[in-house]
Amino acid sequence: MRVVLQRVSSASVSIDEKQVGAINQGYMLLVGAEDTDGAEEIDYLVRKISRLRVFSDDAGKMNLSIQDIHGSILSVSQFTLYADTKKGNRPSFVKAGNPDHADKIYQQFNTQLKQEGIPVETGEFGADMQVSLVNDGPVTIVFDTDNK
């Protein structure tokens, strides 16, 4: 799995000009899965993301987790995280997971984040979405379970 995490002060996702998810302070996650991903990858990412300390404490040091600040997550599926741009100018997406499998992984990932007590808003898997966010910092972190 690949996840791009951005610390945000706000984020929203819309489909056909209708807002389907929005958060204030927390994380905007772009989530991609491949066919070999399963429970082990989900568990690893949920543990890392729910405990990641990138919010400022009273001393201004990145020392607080999303749970410490009572933040929320906006999770958006993003198969293009598996783009292969090695040949030519048009990316190949053959490494992205089969849509049925990837959707299952994405849904389970979001469910497990919610089980950690973190409010999670989502886009719609496979939909053409418009995402808006205010990156706070900016802070952007990339997770790839192939490199854990």
Active site residues: 78-80
Q: How many CB atoms lie within 10 A of CB 85?
A: 9
Distances (CA, A) of 64 to 14, 42, 68, 69: 29, 22, 6, 7
Cα–Cα distance for residue pair 59/62, rounded to 1 Å: 9
**Measured distance CA(131)–CA(13) in Å, rounded:** 4
Structure token digits, residue 103: 């959707």
